[in-house]
């Protein structure tokens, strides 16, 4: 990158040694995207410790595990790498801090998502409206209500492979955000205290209400605001995501750090999912929208699929319905999944199961 010095950090790097414990190292981090950089006795870089890879993706480690047994080897950034490749590696690895090496493969510092955002703020791409960019959960926001059990949120975290879920009230208005990272201590630690802030007793913990763990301090913008406005909020408030709301304070999407970085990628075009409905009854609308949300998520995260189409045909009597899902790959023939019957929910679930199996 021509201006690598503008996104390079050489001091203030969170460091750890191979003999440190996982608990002491993770205690230095504040989000699932953070990283502690590990160096041996010869000051040679050997890897990183990252919450996503040591806590979320696996449950094989506990707090007493030595860092050397839980190392993750991240992508290496070269001073000559273009910005598009740097953000691609950052987003694909789910780590917002990556090591940078010179031409002799010597560690010279790190780059971070925040530094890239600060650099990006002066670029022309940040002057577009948020409505023009692809962003997380656009038009299909994953939500839970304040009194829903944590078990429901955990199921959504797993099913949609997301790290944040929007929390709403019974009227659909924004109340806060729930982070998977914030729930990890309660999922991992032993004990019998089930009060807010207590640890362990997982069955009872999973039935406690979402409102006990929701963060009510959130950043909000509208789709008519600029990307640069979102960058400013993330940098000044030190929160990694912004909830988009309409004029009634209903959430309509989330803009994350990853979404903004994706604008710098050469392959950042959002795939199209066309939806056509005929005689869709009002009582089935919510369930159908959830189905569309899942198919959309699947298409956006599947590298082999170029686009998709969802076609629903119902009878006015609401006695029979037909559902067709077309998944078109970049190469080869499209996969067409069709179901017909009287049980609306059963048909949607059957198609969903076929898609999930790939």
* pLDDT per position as a tens digit, 125-153: 898 889 878 766 655 788 999 999 999 99
- pLDDT at position 281 is 87
Contacts of 344 (CB under 8 A, 6+ apart): 284, 287, 321
Q: pTM for the full model?
A: 0.69
C-alpha 199, offset from chain centre: 25
Using CA atoms, how far residue 99 sits from 44, 95, 235, 246, 337, in Å, is 12, 11, 21, 39, 44
C-alpha 312, offset from chain centre: 29
Q: Are residues 276 and 257 in the same domain?
A: no
pLDDT tens column, 318-329: 789 999 999 998
- pLDDT at position 202 is 63
Grade residue 301 by pLDDT with cuts at 50, 70 and 90.
confident
Distance CA 303, CA 305 (A): 6
Q: Are residues 141 and 256 in the same domain?
A: yes
Q: Are residues 115 and 157 in the same domain?
A: no
Domain boundary among 100, 120, 140: 120
Q: Are residues 258 and 144 in the same domain?
A: yes
Distance CA 151, CA 208 (A): 8
Q: Are residues 276 and 258 in the same domain?
A: no
Q: What is the DSSP letter of 281?
A: -
Most confident of 90-104, 174-188, 191-205: 90-104
Distance CA 321, CA 307 (A): 24
Distance CA 59, CA 358 (A): 26
Grade residue 201 by pLDDT with cuts at 50, 70 and 90.
low
Q: Are residues 139 and 258 in the same domain?
A: yes
Q: Are residues 291 and 341 in the same domain?
A: yes
The predicted model gives 215-225 an average pLDDT of 93
Q: Dihedral angle at the C-alpha atoms of 6, 49, 301, 211, nearest 10 degrees?
A: -100
Q: In this model, does residue 267 exceed pLDDT 60?
A: no
- pLDDT at position 285 is 85
Distance CA 196, CA 209 (A): 10
Q: In this model, does residue 158 exceed pLDDT 90?
A: no
- pLDDT at position 194 is 42
Cβ atoms of 221 and 228 within 8 Å: the answer is: no
Residue 172: give the domain boundaries: 130-262
Q: Are residues 20 and 51 in the same domain?
A: yes
- pLDDT at position 163 is 82
The predicted model gives 229-251 an average pLDDT of 91
C-alpha 159, offset from chain centre: 12
Which comes out higher in pLDDT, residue 267 or 188? 188
Q: Are residues 72 and 166 in the same domain?
A: no
Is 267 contained in some domain?
no
Count: domains in the chain: 3
- pLDDT at position 193 is 45
Grade residue 195 by pLDDT with cuts at 50, 70 and 90.
very low
Terminal-to-terminal C-alpha distance of the chain = 38
Cβ atoms of 65 and 90 within 8 Å: the answer is: no
Using CA atoms, how far residue 192 sits from 82, 183, 199, 201, in Å, is 51, 16, 7, 5
- pLDDT at position 188 is 64
Is 125 contained in some domain?
no
The predicted model gives 270-298 an average pLDDT of 86
Token reading at 179: 């982070």
Return the CATH number at 207.
3.10.580.10
């Amino acid at each position: 990158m021509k201006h690598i010095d503008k996104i390079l950090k050489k001091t203030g790097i969170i460091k750890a040694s191979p003999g440190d414990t996982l608990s002491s190292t993770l205690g230095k981090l504040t989000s699932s995207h953070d990283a502690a950089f590990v160096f041996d006795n010869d000051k040679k870089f050997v890897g990183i410790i990252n919450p996503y890879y040591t806590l979320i993706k696996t449950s094989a480690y506990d707090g007493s595990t030595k860092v050397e047994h839980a190392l993750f080897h991240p992508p290496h950034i070269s001073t000559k790498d273009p910005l598009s490749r740097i953000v691609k590696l950052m987003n694909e690895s789910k780590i917002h801090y990556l090591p940078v090496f010179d031409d002799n493969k010597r560690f010279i510092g790190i780059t971070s998502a925040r530094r890239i955002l600060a650099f990006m703020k002066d670029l022309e791409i940040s002057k577009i409206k948020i409505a023009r960019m692809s962003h997380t959960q656009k038009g299909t926001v994953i939500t839970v209500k304040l009194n829903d059990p944590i078990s429901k949120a955990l199921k959504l975290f797993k099913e949609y492979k997301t790290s944040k879920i929007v929390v709403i009230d019974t009227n659909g208005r924004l109340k806060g955000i729930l982070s998977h990272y914030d729930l990890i201590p309660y999922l991992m630690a032993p004990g019998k205290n089930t009060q807010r802030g207590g640890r362990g007793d997982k069955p009872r913990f999973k039935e406690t209400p979402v409102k006990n763990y929701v963060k009510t301090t959130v950043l909000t913008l509208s789709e008519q605001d600029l990307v640069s406005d979102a960058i400013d909020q993330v940098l000044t408030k030190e929160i990694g995501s912004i909830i988009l709301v309409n004029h009634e304070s209903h959430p309509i999407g989330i803009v994350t750090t990853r979404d903004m970085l994706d604008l710098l990628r050469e392959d950042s075009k959002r795939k199209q999912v066309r939806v056509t409905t005929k005689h869709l009854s009002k009582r089935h609308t919510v369930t159908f929208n959830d189905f569309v949300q899942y198919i959309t998520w699947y298409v956006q995260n599947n590298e082999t699929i170029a686009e998709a189409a969802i076609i629903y045909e119902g009878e006015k009597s609401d006695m029979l319905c037909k559902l067709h899902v077309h998944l078109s790959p970049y190469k080869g023939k499209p996969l067409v999944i069709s179901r017909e019957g009287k049980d609306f929910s059963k048909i949607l679930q059957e198609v969903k199961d076929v898609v999930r199996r790939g």
